[in-house]
Structure 1
Amino acid sequence: MVGSELTFDGSRVAHRAIGPGSLVASRFRLEDLLEEHSGARFWRATDLTLARNVAVHVIRRDDPRAAAVLTAARTSATVSDARILRVLDAVEEDVYVNIVHEWGSGISLDRLLPDELLEPRRAAWLVREVAEAIAVAHRQGVAHGRLLPENVLLTDVGSVKLIGFVVDGVLHGRRASGGAAPPSEHESDVLNLGALLYACLTGKWAGFPDSALPAAPYDHDRVCRPRQVRAGVPKPLDAICDQVLNPSPRGRRFETAVEVGAALSEYLGDTIGTPAVEVSEATAFLDPAALRTPEASAGLSHDGPAAAQQPARPGSGALEETQPGIPVARADIAPRGSTAMGTGQSRPSAPASPTDPAPVDDDRTRAGFAPLAATGPLPRPGAGGAPPSGWGSERRDDPPSGDPHERPGSTWWRLAAVIGVLAVVLLAVLVAPQLGGTSDDGSDDPEPTASSGPSGSTRSLQVVEPASVDDFDPDGGDAPEENADLVPLATDGKPATAWETKTYFDGPVLAPYRAGLGLLIDLGEETEVRQVSVELVSGPYDLELLAAPEGTETAPTGTEGLTTVEARSGASGEVALRGNETVRTRYLVVWLTALPRATDGYQGGIAEVVVRS
């Protein structure tokens, strides 16, 4: 069917209209319009040569994004990894630009996670797969640019596929909320690796740009840690999310996808994955001059890049064989909520005007690069059909109750041996007091008593709520103030928040310019103190626990007259301070005398202080 358009000189030129049944590059027949976003249309199409489904983006040549989309498609095609759905063709035809992609079958994370959060190890494995694919791309100077849950596909055979590589970022743009400058493509990829792990564990999204998933909660401009959102998150994964999403100059920083993948491999117990690759300079994928020459890009044909340019991932095959430690195939599962990127034929579109086809009226389609196909819920134990072992509970099956090779009667011998040992122990318990008890002259040995010190106390420690906590900087001059507004963060019960000192240029030891600084704790009344737990931000520190003498009724203004309960050098993390004896006092001082290195000097912080009696 033919249409027309008005040119700049007022004349009209004929052009072929795009609609269901139209051919792209004389080979790909458009079937279903799945999405239309800002003038760009996304179709399911059929490759008539190879009889397979493909995905096609169609955009008008006069669209301001057309040249950038072509460049992005060519850039994407230079990255070869089995976890990335490839660009098969890029065609300028009539008044349209057509980008043809591989088709995948499965469910995207934005549709899976609202109904089913992943177990921690499954989440770590999935994000590690994504990190390894991103590391391969970054090594070639190419970034995904829009690494959202919508663009991470869990296929029917249990593998991970990334969709919309480079192209999706161009089509949707990269705008930060609040007018702030968006991070670079490489930075946003690394940030979103942490956000994907966060989403798998909590169902919330903390990355850039926004996703269909609910936004992650914030606390004092920091993303709440996963353990604050959902119980049961392992501490290593909680720490990885926090360090990626809330980078601190004093803590560990993840700057590359390789580092994120290596940390997840360490958690999974597999240090072989995630090869250490160098990250090359970022490719400006909107600059055609940065691409290869047309001769070097000859791999873009109707049949896709040549097989010789597609080095197989170790252990991968034509049928996406399941790797050790990853979910097994869901051969009998039709994942929830999708139509596009699926292998099955979707229902035909209703007749529509070829010049303005309407998207398929299916509530399972969604905005994004690839709405995904599914017809039913994921199976659950006892709901008809056993789920794949890789995606069930993390608890291993109970071991068999018996050993088929065990010699008959050996169990009775073991039982007899255990009874014999118990008899000997019982005899020793009965006889020992008689041998070491009362002497011949009738005098008794003194009985041991429970120690009143912290190490010998027989009763459990009780948390003491302080009446107040203040910053303590006696050498601060006329205005001894040390970020007093942040002090409440040291006792709010949230390790993700912390009181921080000012930044000092001389260090790490504060002397001779300052003897030290810290926090003054008022217990409200004299209390027996057995332990003070301090969670330090980064490290190392030199610190002391100081106590005012009994009978002190006014808060100390200096360290004169205070008793040192315990001193530590080179401390970091959580530190339990206690003396040899119980201290009875009203005022305590956590006294820092050496601070860790920061970006532009020396700075310390205390995340939590807990007093126990």
Structure 2
Amino acid sequence: MDGMCVAHNAIGAGSVVASRFRLEDLLAEDAGARFWRATDLTLVRNVALHVIRADDLRAPAVLTAARTSATVSDGHILRVLDALHEGDFVYVVHEWGSGVSLDRMLGEGTVEPRRAVWLVREVAEAIAVAHRQGVAHGRLLPDNVLLTDVGSVKLIGFVVAAVLQGRPQREGATGDPPSEHESDVLNLGALLYACLTGRWPGFPQSTLPDAPDDHGRVCRPRQVRPGVPRRLDALCDQILNPDPRTGVHRFESAAEIHAALGDYLGDSLSGATVAVSGPTALLERPGYSDADADSDSAAGTDSGTDPDATQAGLPRFEATQAGLPRFATDPAPPHSDPRAAPPDTPTDTPLDTPTGASHRTEAVPRPEPAPMGPAWTARSGTGQGDGPVPPAWGPDPARRHGSAPMTPEKRPGSRSLRFAALVAVLGLVLLAVVVGVWLQRDQQPEQSAGPDASPTATATASAPPEVVQPAAVRDFDPEQQDGGSPEENPDLVPLATDGNPATAWETLTYEDGPVLAPYKAGVGLLLDLGAETPVRDVRVTLVGSPYDLQLLAAPPESGAPTSVEGLTEVDTRSGVLGNVRLKADEAVTTRYLVLWLTALPPGDDGGYVGRIGEVVVRS
């Protein structure tokens, strides 16, 4: 009999449960629990459906978990739409989410730090809302964090996943198993750690590789991946590892983590997203300089037909412990045959005995996927957590404020106004060029006048400056006070002359500042030019502000300096930031230059620290 509700017999693809939901694709199965994509026949939309036998010991707890999850109202949570016990089975119906899961995305590379903070801040907001209502997720893994097609963050399996798949059992801060709330807080830090390093330090295990540990303490992110901002490195350590002095964790609530991440972003970002150029923009890692950068994107996307595509064009999933999907393959290309199914696809496999035709329903329209824009022509994904990286996701690191760009409204005459503005700008540029040429010609007689002006001096003055590549650069700290370290991060010194201002050498952190005196006169870099060289200027990229600094030069024919005594002061600047040019009135001939920092800006984690992104010497 068509359209009848299946309750007491076995169920399979095409069966209708609860008189409303038609099972379409089996996404995962383990330990007696199944996870389906289904069609809501009333509203004609996709839903996610957990199915478990009523005699399973977990069945009562699953219904309770579903009802508990439904009490939390937050836009980041894939809601429970219904939960019921009908005949031999218990069903939990969830809102459907289309996108890519965080563990799958991190399998292709780490996330740019600012976007990582934004992502985890979104998760922390949802967890804080739930905790205020006394509800915990219980299983906050990268597998259960979804980046939707429109760029928002959604949480899968709120409360229900912990019942179906088990709750974490590692020891908490007090030596006892952590509460569900404490587990959520710890795993918020673990999510941030995973975004920055591609390793998972949380519990239980994820599909990501485990993070290394050192005598029971999770290794800090910078030990795993160089280039992680120090402030985020410290934040992860404070969340994941107990304070060695007190034995307790510094962060005790999701709200505290949400506030700390907001402080890092420097603004109160809303849920608005910012358009990016494509999937690679989400995974770019400016500033990372480790050798592992190339390996992070080694996993590619097969453009051929997916051999594991199900009858609805969805990828076949790898089963998790008890119900949520763990994504194992890329989605089928848009032009693959959606009707094709491999022989081992478990779409018609019943829980009990094969079901007959009487348990099939009449054909009703299936939900059509959303139209694909230009960014979706290469890949498409309709599975929950198995789609491509969304084209609009996370805050642009180059933009600290604002929301998604909006298409300007076209107004009559706007093209003419733009053309007139362009003409005006070009006119101003032309005028500036003419004035500059006139001034240059007016000054030429003065430069070449005088009986003492030699052809060699004239040629030297008119020759364009040349960049001098130092033969060697090292940290320079001749005053080690109170038994302090004689080195100032020598391993980072090459970053000051690598041609990339995004990477930086940095000093040690000093408690007193910003002026280093009287603790010490200063710290800096010693540049060996390899030979006596006339130096016109030195251009320095400073990170943070403000700085006091000097450019010092060793006397000709002298050895490498061991202190600043006897060095010639070329230029001195105070309260400067950004790109700074240090120069003398006349070219200085020397082999050794000292870039000497005497006042440092505040550091990210307290104290005072100097950072030099790039040093360029010109002759």
The structural deviation recorded for 1:101 is 0.8
Structure 1 pair 507/175, CA: closer, same or farther in 2 (3 Å)? farther
Aligned match of 2:223:
221
Distance in 2 (alpha carbons) for counterparts of 1:429 and 1:513: 51
Aligned match of 1:87:
80
Structure 1 pair 533/246, CA: closer, same or farther in 2 (3 Å)? farther
Q: Secondary structure at the match of 1:138?
A: helix
User: Conserved in 1, the CA contact under 8 Å of 2:470 and 2:530?
Assistant: no
Aligned match of 1:154:
148
- 2:184 partner amino acid: E
Aligned match of 2:29:
36
- 1:545 partner amino acid: L
The structural deviation recorded for 1:561 is 0.7
Distance in 1 (alpha carbons) for counterparts of 2:125 and 2:456: 57
Aligned match of 1:524:
530
The structural deviation recorded for 1:570 is 3.9
Structure 1 pair 220/105, CA: closer, same or farther in 2 (3 Å)? closer
2:609 pairs with 1:604: yes
The structural deviation recorded for 1:537 is 5.3
User: Conserved in 2, the CA contact under 8 Å of 1:187 and 1:255?
Assistant: no
Distance in 1 (alpha carbons) for counterparts of 2:562 and 2:276: 60
Aligned pairs for 1:525-544 (under 5 A) are 525-536=531-542, 538-544=544-550
The structural deviation recorded for 1:55 is 1.6
The structural deviation recorded for 1:35 is 0.7
Structure 1 pair 376/551, CA: closer, same or farther in 2 (3 Å)? same
Distance in 2 (alpha carbons) for counterparts of 1:426 and 1:603: 47
Aligned pairs for 1:203-214 (under 5 A) are 205=198
The structural deviation recorded for 1:42 is 1.3
- 2:12 partner amino acid: P
Instruction: Deviation per CA, 1:504-543: give whole Å up to 9, x if none.
Output: 4444433323222333332222222333344555454433
Aligned match of 2:125:
135
The structural deviation recorded for 1:556 is 1.8
Aligned pairs for 1:454-465 (under 5 A) are 459-465=464-470
Aligned pairs for 1:416-495 (under 5 A) are 459-476=464-481, 481-483=486-488, 485-491=490-496, 493=498
Aligned match of 1:568:
573
Give TM-score scaled by structure 1 length.
0.53
Structure 1 pair 601/495, CA: closer, same or farther in 2 (3 Å)? same
The structural deviation recorded for 1:462 is 0.8
The alignment of Structure 1 onto Structure 2 pairs a total of residues equal to 472
The structural deviation recorded for 1:585 is 1.6
Distance in 2 (alpha carbons) for counterparts of 1:541 and 1:103: 53
Structure 1 pair 220/187, CA: closer, same or farther in 2 (3 Å)? closer
Instruction: Deviation per CA, 1:382-423: give whole Å up to 9, x if none.
Output: 99xxxxxx969x9999x99x979989xxx9xx99xx99x999
The structural deviation recorded for 1:45 is 3.8
Select between 56-65 and 70-79 the one with higher mean Cα deviation. 56-65
Distance in 2 (alpha carbons) for counterparts of 1:349 and 1:465: 65
Distance in 2 (alpha carbons) for counterparts of 1:572 and 1:133: 35
Distance in 2 (alpha carbons) for counterparts of 1:427 and 1:503: 49
User: Conserved in 2, the CA contact under 8 Å of 1:106 and 1:373?
Assistant: no
From 546, 550, 553, the equivalent of 1:547 is 553
The structural deviation recorded for 1:90 is 4.2
- 1:154 partner amino acid: T
The structural deviation recorded for 1:492 is 6.4
The structural deviation recorded for 1:457 is 7.2
Distance in 1 (alpha carbons) for counterparts of 2:534 and 2:584: 12
Structure 1 pair 404/40, CA: closer, same or farther in 2 (3 Å)? closer
- 2:554 partner amino acid: A
Instruction: Deviation per CA, 1:291-323: give whole Å up to 9, x if none.
Output: xxxxxxxxxxxxxxxxxxxxxxxxxxxxxxxx9
- 2:526 partner amino acid: L
2:26 pairs with 1:20: no
- 2:519 partner amino acid: Y
User: Conserved in 1, the CA contact under 8 Å of 2:546 and 2:577?
Assistant: yes
Aligned pairs for 1:155-234 (under 5 A) are 155=149, 162-165=155-158, 167-168=160-161, 171=165, 185-186=184-185, 188-189=187-188, 192=191, 205=198, 221=223, 223=225
Distance in 1 (alpha carbons) for counterparts of 2:415 and 2:503: 57
Distance in 2 (alpha carbons) for counterparts of 1:515 and 1:428: 43
Aligned pairs for 1:193-342 (under 5 A) are 205=198, 221=223, 223=225, 246=233, 257=258, 273-274=270-271, 338=315
Structure 1 pair 212/25, CA: closer, same or farther in 2 (3 Å)? same
Distance in 1 (alpha carbons) for counterparts of 2:443 and 2:545: 51
Instruction: Deviation per CA, 1:112-149: give whole Å up to 9, x if none.
Output: 9999999x9xx97x997996575355344367664648
Unaligned runs of 5+ in 1: 1-14, 199-203, 226-240, 276-322, 328-334, 358-371, 384-389
Distance in 2 (alpha carbons) for counterparts of 1:450 and 1:16: 104
2:330 pairs with 1:352: no
Aligned match of 1:578:
583
Distance in 2 (alpha carbons) for counterparts of 1:605 and 1:324: 32
Distance in 2 (alpha carbons) for counterparts of 1:577 and 1:534: 8
Distance in 2 (alpha carbons) for counterparts of 1:378 and 1:463: 49
Q: Secondary structure at the match of 2:533?
A: strand
Pairwise CA RMSD: 6.8
Q: Secondary structure at the match of 2:487?
A: coil
Aligned match of 2:92:
99
User: Conserved in 2, the CA contact under 8 Å of 1:79 and 1:136?
Assistant: no
Unaligned runs of 5+ in 2: 1-6, 171-176, 212-219, 237-254, 278-311, 318-324, 326-330, 332-337, 355-366, 379-389, 393-403
User: Conserved in 2, the CA contact under 8 Å of 1:337 and 1:375?
Assistant: no
User: Conserved in 2, the CA contact under 8 Å of 1:57 and 1:100?
Assistant: yes
- 1:33 partner amino acid: L
The structural deviation recorded for 1:566 is 2.7
Aligned match of 1:230:
none
Distance in 1 (alpha carbons) for counterparts of 2:558 and 2:109: 57
Distance in 1 (alpha carbons) for counterparts of 2:28 and 2:558: 73
Q: Secondary structure at the match of 1:566?
A: strand
Aligned match of 1:78:
71
Aligned match of 1:559:
564
Distance in 2 (alpha carbons) for counterparts of 1:530 and 1:60: 81
- 1:185 partner amino acid: D
- 1:80 partner amino acid: S
Structure 1 pair 502/133, CA: closer, same or farther in 2 (3 Å)? closer
Distance in 1 (alpha carbons) for counterparts of 2:602 and 2:518: 18
From 509, 515, 522, the equivalent of 2:515 is 509
Distance in 1 (alpha carbons) for counterparts of 2:270 and 2:547: 35
Select between 128-137 and 564-573 the one with higher mean Cα deviation. 128-137
Aligned match of 1:300:
none
The structural deviation recorded for 1:586 is 1.7
User: Conserved in 1, the CA contact under 8 Å of 2:475 and 2:488?
Assistant: no
Structure 1 pair 501/211, CA: closer, same or farther in 2 (3 Å)? same
User: Conserved in 2, the CA contact under 8 Å of 1:150 and 1:211?
Assistant: no
User: Conserved in 1, the CA contact under 8 Å of 2:475 and 2:490?
Assistant: no
